Structure 1
Amino acid sequence: MAAFPGSIAFDEFGRPFIILRDQENQKRLTGIDALKSHILAAQQIASTIRTSLGPKGLDKMMVSPDGEVTVTNDGATILKMMEVDHEIGKLLVQLSQSQDDEIGDGTTGVVVLAGALLEQAGALLDRGIHPIRIADGFELACQTAVQHLEKIAELFPVSADNIEPLIKVAKTTLGSKIINKCHRQMAEIAVNAVLAVADLEQKDVNFELIKVEGKVGGRLEDTVLVKGVVIDKTMSHPQMPKELKDVKIAILTCPFEPPKPKTKHKLDVTNVEEFKELRQYEQEKFKEMVGLVKKAGATLAICQWGFDDEANHLLLQQLPAVRWVGGPEIELIAIATGGRIVPRFEELSVDKLGYAGLVRELSFGTTKDRMLVIEECSNSRAVTILVRGGNQMLVAEAKRSLHDALCVIRSLVQEPRVVYGGGAAEIACSLAVAAQADQLASLEQYAFRGFAEALESIPLALAENCGLSAIHALGEVKAKQALSGDSALGIDCMATGNMNMREQHVIESLKSKRQQLLLATQLVKMILKIDDVRSPNDSQGL
């Protein structure tokens, strides 16, 4: 029988515990070994998502533990739904989420760039360069790249009178999405939605006023922009009118039901007379509530809570109503109609009512699915995009794609400057950083060259995903950019025979591209300074 690899000892209370042999030799990875482990984990995440980059990028099918299927090529969504255990992998997920929260687009590119930078860092570590020198070199190279981006960026006309340039930018964003078969229509919807709620003088966009609602059924081409609010509800009674004009809306968060006894008390009904009295009391309360709403001058009641059949029948005779309208929808209706959310019937007054020119029910398909549309509101800036699609996955992906387009147009309103896509901006920055490296005498020149090479990973990935010979395509574009100095030359992903992204109208927001560079570099710098991973209660590093 083999000997047990340890010995048993007893504590002061006589309880046995095992002392394992060679415990002092069981160490965590530290130093360069830990850095190599981190770099390998990040590269695996980046290589997984790399194939989703660009107009010919592939989608990923994500299956949740309960069997729910999501099909998308949105980087932030893919990483969020991946079950990543490695700590550095989790940092990359957060990186993508930061890009999504701040800009809304470029979530795949930022992870691919971070992975490429870490790959270059691994090669520099093998050459014996200290990780701090690499991190500092990358930061300086990033500053050079951002400065060059500012130089090559062009001013962009943002005007409500001429929306064609904005549509071209939205088409670039939507080109890599599943909904690109109705490319132009979706781009126009996104641009019109943002301009409807934008303050161009203050360069501000209130995203709270844009709601994206999905309804399964119909085709993607049936997607519409509604100047108002669409809610997935119907009138509380099927015999209520389906269309109302010049509507004064009471927005209520109090239920149409009689007051209940407090929790410490109860009401015992012991005979028929008491039951009749209680029923009579309930009827009087219902009439009083409806009377208060009518007295304020409301012609439609929108209630956050439900009401029973008796109240509903009473409302049918006197006042159209909608029930079970959620909190965010109630707030949006209040903003759009200029009404106030009222928590008690007694507080309702004329000045707290919202106004809408038209409230109507939309019905879809043979099943007669219905939704309520509130249009011609007093605050007409609130808009809703109603997305249609053949199944839930398509509707959900269309909503994600439109969100990206909306965010890019918002970025252009806030900062109207653009660079050219198709990897053109990255190649231009790569050339600038490589040129700067030749001017340096210090050790950081190697980090500069590594950074320049990492920037080329974006056009390389674009070319690979489009089925081109990646190295040949990149070499050709790089040579032409170096000779002509034209920063609009990029990878011809759509095989049009034209490398000029200015002529192909492949345009990206400067704000998005700058944020990608800064976020990726900051994360890589942080990872290069981690040489050990310990849990909070781990004092021995075992």
Structure 2
Amino acid sequence: MAGFPGSIAFDEYGRPFIILRDQDKQKRLTGIDALKSHILAARQIANTVRTSLGPKGLDKMMVSPDGDVTVTNDGATILKMMDIEHEIGKLLVELSQSQDDEIGDGTTGVVVLAGALLEQAASLVDRGIHPIRIADGFEMACQTAVAHLEKIAELFPVSATNTEPLIQVAMTTLGSKIINKCHRQMAEIAVNAVLAVADLEQKDVNFELIKVEGKVGGKLEDTVLVKGVVIDKTMSHSQMPKELKDVKLAILTCAFEPPKPKTKHKLDVGDVAAYKELRQYEQEKFKEMVNLVKNAGATLAICQWGFDDEANHLLLQQQLPAVRWVGGPEIELIAIATGGRIVPRFEELSPEKLGTAGLVRELSFGTTSDKMLVIEECANSRAVTILVRGGNKMLIEEAKRSLHDALCVVRSLVQEPNIVYGGGAAEIACSLAVAAQADQLASLEQYAYRGFAEALEAIPLALAENSGLSAIHTLGELKAKQSASGDPALGIDCMFTGNMNMREQHVIESLKSKRQQLLLATQLVKMILKIDDVRSPSDQQG
């Protein structure tokens, strides 16, 4: 118990309780001091991810306690892997994760916005404004900003025939990622994957049908979209055929093993005759299992469990190709794709429970022995797999995260086909609208409105800083141009094209994502502003 700040005592019933030492000398922050402490912690975390914002944003290298290295600029991943002890810091991690779960993109922007709002709240508190009035003002200003977002949003054509607009949005998302050197190809893969599983009439996308697999080797440009299922397995025997056509799949969750007695008693074999009899029984059972699969009409067995060399050899003799140790999620995806049923017992196998696929083949990679199995031309062709290639595991993991963001943005547009323009254009438009509304207010909340308007400028400021531009000068010029022209498509020219019009640059973002950022950041800031005391379970209760 070395270093433990207390001692254990026992009451008259023998129940232990802890006596904390120096309880009277421990200091607990309350009121405005506590609030400023919370704001400082949140701002530090926001400043950490601020440099990762935008197409010129920098990556972070995260090293786990066991030495695993992750390089990423995805806000949710950075915060999730940071070892944060402060309670308010943990709230920001949850904020980023909430944005990631709901939308999938904008995880860095939402934290930067929350940090900027808290910075404005700190200056307003210093001016003597009560935190509750600030929180209420921020909430009203957020409603004004969201209403203006809806006003400047443009309807977006989502069509399976004309995919170019969707590709432009996916390219905007991937522009800030490590894979931006081939982001046109990656954007096309993401759009085609979503459209393959989307129901455009119901405006619904079943993400369960999209699987992202990675394989080390090759280059990023070798990434492909497979209209089917890719599993990281091979045929169970090296002499089984590597390519099968017009396949009938038996999808099994039962093992090719002799049944074991369901008792705790052990079986003793006393003489050679008994052993031979047991051996004969096992062989007959193996043959019976293989025959049941063959008689059902299956030409390929997909098994969740393994089987030994004897069963493997028997399957080869009977000319029944098989795949073993296929995981549960893959089994389910294969069943969905091929239209087959998952069978738990050999006796239940019948022709109508088999899945169908036009082609099953093994993929080989380079000069290595790495192989994967591809199931294509399935009965239910909606299931797709993105096979990501890359020079090392770290690059593949970052490519997977980037593709996930692109998939989520395209899904958001299928669900709600409205867009705003990126490059900080939407934030500046909302900032101008909120500032104009502040001039119409006579109450104390006008200060919170102006603070909210300034906080919205943190996004274009960060984009300009990360791009190496003169941030204040660029922002001032942009605000003046937007005020004069009323065009909400003018944003930060991060790529130095000489054109501030994001409409012409095709820098497009989902309205749903931008609105969610505003709402989540405002809700969190309102929650933090209402915390004036932090009590731990060990604190003495007065």
So what's the TM-score if we normalise by structure 2?
Answer: 0.96
- Kindly state the Cα deviation for residue 26 of structure 1 after the two structures are TM-superposed: 3.8
Rounded Cα–Cα distance in structure 1 between residues aligned with 2:536 and 2:327 = 42
Rounded Cα–Cα distance in structure 2 between residues aligned with 1:304 and 1:103 = 33
Indicate the SS of the match to 1:361: strand
Partner of 1:432: 433
Indicate the SS of the match to 1:498: coil
Partner of 1:312: 312
Indicate the SS of the match to 2:202: coil
Indicate the SS of the match to 2:90: helix
Partner of 2:90: 90
- Kindly state the Cα deviation for residue 18 of structure 1 after the two structures are TM-superposed: 9.2
Larger mean Cα displacement after TM superposition, 259-268 or 372-381: 259-268
CA deviation profile, 1:340-374 (whole Å, cap 9, x unmatched) = 11111111111111100000000001113100000
CA deviation profile, 1:140-170 (whole Å, cap 9, x unmatched) = 0000000000000000000011000000000
Does residue 380 (structure 1) correspond to residue 369 (structure 2)? The answer is: no
Rounded Cα–Cα distance in structure 2 between residues aligned with 1:41 and 1:378 = 54
Does residue 370 (structure 1) correspond to residue 383 (structure 2)? The answer is: no
Partner of 1:5: none
Partner of 1:335: 336
Indicate the SS of the match to 2:79: helix
Indicate the SS of the match to 1:251: strand
Partner of 2:176: 176
Partner of 1:266: 266
Match runs of 1:89-488 below 5 Å: 89-318=89-318, 319-488=320-489
Partner of 2:490: 489
Rounded Cα–Cα distance in structure 2 between residues aligned with 1:208 and 1:247 = 24
Give the count of matched residue pairs. 530
Rounded Cα–Cα distance in structure 1 between residues aligned with 2:360 and 2:208 = 21
- Kindly state the Cα deviation for residue 264 of structure 1 after the two structures are TM-superposed: 1.4
Partner of 2:4: none
**1:18/1:80 CA distance change after superposition, 3 Å:** closer
Indicate the SS of the match to 2:255: coil
Question: Structure 1: which 5+ runs fail to align?
Answer: 1-9
Question: Structure 2: which 5+ runs fail to align?
Answer: 1-9
Rounded Cα–Cα distance in structure 1 between residues aligned with 2:272 and 2:235 = 35
Rounded Cα–Cα distance in structure 2 between residues aligned with 1:444 and 1:186 = 46
Contact 1:420-1:507 within 8 A present in 2 as well: yes
Indicate the SS of the match to 2:196: helix
Contact 1:236-1:323 within 8 A present in 2 as well: yes
- Kindly state the Cα deviation for residue 261 of structure 1 after the two structures are TM-superposed: 2.4
Larger mean Cα displacement after TM superposition, 270-279 or 117-126: 270-279
CA deviation profile, 1:13-40 (whole Å, cap 9, x unmatched) = 9xxx99978x556441000000000000
**1:126/1:281 CA distance change after superposition, 3 Å:** same
Read off the aligned partner of 1:170 and give its amino acid letter: A
Partner of 1:63: 63
Contact 1:261-1:267 within 8 A present in 2 as well: no
Read off the aligned partner of 1:216 and give its amino acid letter: V
Seq. identity, %: 89
What RMSD in Å do the two structures reach over aligned CA positions?
1.7
CA deviation profile, 1:436-493 (whole Å, cap 9, x unmatched) = 0000000000000000000000000000000001001111101100010000000000
Partner of 2:3: none
Rounded Cα–Cα distance in structure 1 between residues aligned with 2:70 and 2:521 = 27
Contact 1:419-1:508 within 8 A present in 2 as well: yes
Rounded Cα–Cα distance in structure 2 between residues aligned with 1:508 and 1:281 = 66
Indicate the SS of the match to 1:46: helix
Rounded Cα–Cα distance in structure 2 between residues aligned with 1:262 and 1:25 = 63
**1:391/1:11 CA distance change after superposition, 3 Å:** closer
Partner of 1:507: 508
- Kindly state the Cα deviation for residue 539 of structure 1 after the two structures are TM-superposed: 3.3
**1:25/1:264 CA distance change after superposition, 3 Å:** closer
Rounded Cα–Cα distance in structure 2 between residues aligned with 1:158 and 1:327 = 34
**1:393/1:19 CA distance change after superposition, 3 Å:** closer
**1:512/1:311 CA distance change after superposition, 3 Å:** same
Rounded Cα–Cα distance in structure 2 between residues aligned with 1:510 and 1:48 = 26
Rounded Cα–Cα distance in structure 2 between residues aligned with 1:358 and 1:19 = 69
- Kindly state the Cα deviation for residue 382 of structure 1 after the two structures are TM-superposed: 0.4
Read off the aligned partner of 1:428 and give its amino acid letter: A
Extract structure 1 runs of 4+ deviating beyond 2 A.
10-13, 17-21, 23-27, 536-541
Rounded Cα–Cα distance in structure 2 between residues aligned with 1:151 and 1:462 = 24
- Kindly state the Cα deviation for residue 74 of structure 1 after the two structures are TM-superposed: 0.3
Rounded Cα–Cα distance in structure 1 between residues aligned with 2:200 and 2:473 = 44
- Kindly state the Cα deviation for residue 269 of structure 1 after the two structures are TM-superposed: 1.2
